[in-house]
Structure formats: C-alpha cells, structure tokens
C-alpha cells in the first residue's frame, strides 16, 4: 500500500490511442478518492509519475500498489488496452478495477476466502480464446491462484467486488457464476477507507 493521504502522480503513454482517452481515465479513476484518502495528480511527464498508464492492445492489467516503484520510469505500470473500443460503462469498470490494483488490492477471486467451484478444463478453454489468448500457466496465475492468509489482508469473500473477475456460470460445476461488477461494493469502500483512512479514522486507529 501507499501512504494514506499520499499524492500519486499518474502519467500516460498514449502511443496508439486517441488523446481524449486520458480524460476518460481521469474521470473514473478519481472515484476511489471518495472512499480512500489518496489523491491522483495527472501529469504530462510520464517519467515523473508513480503510476504510468499505457494503452497497448494487449489487455488490461496493473502492478499492485507500490510494486510500481520497482518498474523503470520509462516503462508503464498499468495498461488499459481495451478502452479504445469499450463502452462507457465497460471503460469505467476496467478503470476502477485496474486503479484498485494500483492502490494495492488483489483479485477477489484470489482471496483466501474464495471457494469458486471451477470446471478447470472449461476455464482453460475459455481463456485460451480472444481477447485473452492465455496459456495454461497464465490461467493458473490469473484465475486459480489463491493468496495465503499470511500474505494478504482479506475480508469475507465478496462476490460483488469490483476486483472480482466475471465468472460465466458455465465455467463452474454448480452453474453459479459472477456477473460483471460495475460498481465499488460496500466492502470495497470499507477496505479503501480502512487502508487509506481519512484523518478522523486515523486518529481513532491511533487511540485518540
């Protein structure tokens, strides 16, 4: 995690993308500021940024939290490759999800408390197709990996989290899936405020 109250500089590499895509990112990323004591400053010089956003057409992903500090300043730490062809609601969902990663939040289906009954062979087949084109190792890492209780702070399993991948019901053995979550869930908001507390909560946490 970053420090509560920290100003995070966000820069852009717009190679292959229209210039107005920057304004779409700015519009939706700041929604996290309502619930987390963090501020995004959008800068022109990408090399000076903490979070560096690209738009190459090879998927959407982000480093988690302060992992971004380990990446060379001439390289991006987040990619939003699906935005140029996405609807407004899908763009918002993707931006909220990836900026959740940038703030330090993992995938909800990777939570120690998640217990999704995947039909593994169907999952491998599903993600081997476009737009993902993932091999089995990538599916293992992005779908089946679960963090241990010793390496993450976690809540009860939250199938409504913005950090949850969609799970088509046909990919599970019980026929119960998870839809595209397009809003920050109640627990998303609570955890954002817990790890990035505003002053009053910080004083409470410190015993004042």
110-169 pLDDT per residue, tens: 999 999 999 999 999 999 998 889 999 999 999 999 988 877 888 889 999 999 999 999
Half-sphere exposure of 26 (CA within 13 A, CB side): 13
Q: Phi and psi for 167 in degrees, rounded to 5?
A: -125, 100
Express each pLDDT in 171-189 by its tens digit.
999 999 999 999 999 999 9
Question: 37-47 burial by CB neighbour count: b if 16+ within 10 A, else e?
Answer: bbebebeeebe
Q: What is the pLDDT of residue 69?
A: 96
pLDDT in tens, 61-71: 999 999 999 99
Show the domains of the chain with their CATH numbers: 1-104 (3.40.390.10), 107-181 (no CATH)
The Cα–Cα gap between 46 and 68 comes to 13
Q: What does the pLDDT read at residue 85? A: 76
Kindly report the pTM of this predicted structure.
0.90
């Amino acid at each position: 995690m970053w420090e509560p109250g920290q100003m995070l500089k966000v820069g852009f590499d717009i190679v292959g993308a229209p210039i107005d895509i920057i304004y779409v990112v700015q519009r939706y990323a700041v929604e996290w500021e309502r619930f987390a004591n963090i501020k995004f400053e959008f800068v022109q010089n990408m090399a000076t940024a903490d979070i560096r956003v690209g738009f190459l057409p090879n998927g959407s992903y982000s480093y988690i939290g302060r992992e971004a500090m380990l990446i060379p300043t001439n390289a991006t730490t987040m990619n939003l490759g699906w935005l140029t062809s996405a609807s407004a609601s899908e763009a918002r969902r993707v931006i909220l999800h990836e900026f959740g990663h940038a703030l330090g939040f993992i995938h909800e289906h990777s939570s120690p408390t998640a217990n999704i009954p995947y039909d593994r062979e169907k999952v491998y087949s599903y993600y081997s197709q476009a737009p993902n084109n993932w091999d089995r190792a990538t599916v293992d890492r992005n779908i089946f990996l679960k963090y241990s209780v010793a390496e993450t702070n976690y809540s009860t399993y939250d199938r409504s989290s913005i950090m949850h991948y969609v799970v088509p019901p046909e990919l599970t053995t019980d026929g119960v899936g998870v839809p595209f979550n397009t809003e920050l869930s109640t627990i998303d908001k609570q955890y954002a405020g817990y790890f990035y507390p505003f002053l009053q909560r910080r004083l409470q946490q410190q015993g004042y």
